[in-house]
Amino acid sequence: MPRHPDPELEDRILTAASRLWARGGEKKLTMRAVASAAETTTPTVYERYRDRADILRALRLKARRELFAALSPTRTLAGAVQGYLDFALDNPHGYEVLFDGVGKPPSLHEPWPSFNLMRQRLAEELGGTPRQHNRLMLAIWSLMHGTAMLIIRGGFEGALRTQAVHACLDTVQVIVRATARSKSFVHSGPKWPATLVLGEGERSSTGNGNQKEKSGRTGKRRA
pLDDT tens track of the chain, all 223 residues? Answer: 344 457 688 889 998 998 888 787 778 889 999 999 999 999 999 999 999 889 989 989 989 999 999 999 999 999 999 999 999 999 988 888 888 889 999 999 998 999 999 999 999 999 999 999 999 999 999 999 999 999 999 999 999 999 999 999 999 999 999 999 988 777 788 989 999 999 999 999 998 765 444 444 433 333 2
pTM of the predicted protein model:
0.83
pLDDT at 29: 87
pLDDT at 209: 62
pLDDT at 222: 32
| Rounded Cα gap, residues 152 and 40, in angstroms | 29
pLDDT at 211: 44
Q: What ranges do the domains of the chain cover?
A: 9-49, 60-206
Q: What is the CA radius of gyration of the chain?
A: 19
Cβ count within 10 A of residue 170 = 11
Q: Backbone phi, then psi, for 201, in 5-degree steps? A: 60, -130
**CATH number of the domain at 9-49, out of 3.30.230, 1.10.10, 3.40.1840, 3.40.50?**
1.10.10
Looking at residue 195, the DSSP 8-state letter turns out to be: T
Q: CB-based burial of residue 109 (10 Å sphere; 0-12 exposed, 13-18 middle, 19+ buried)?
A: middle
Return the CATH number of the domain spanning residue range 60-206. 1.10.357
Q: Please enumerate, as own/partner, the contacts of 138-141 that have beta carbons within 8 Å and a separation of 24 or more.
A: 138/198, 139/175, 139/185, 140/77, 140/81, 140/172, 140/175, 140/176, 141/115
Torsion of CA 188, 137, 150, 33, to 10 degrees: -120
Q: Interior CA angle at 153 toward 151 and 155, to 5°?
A: 60
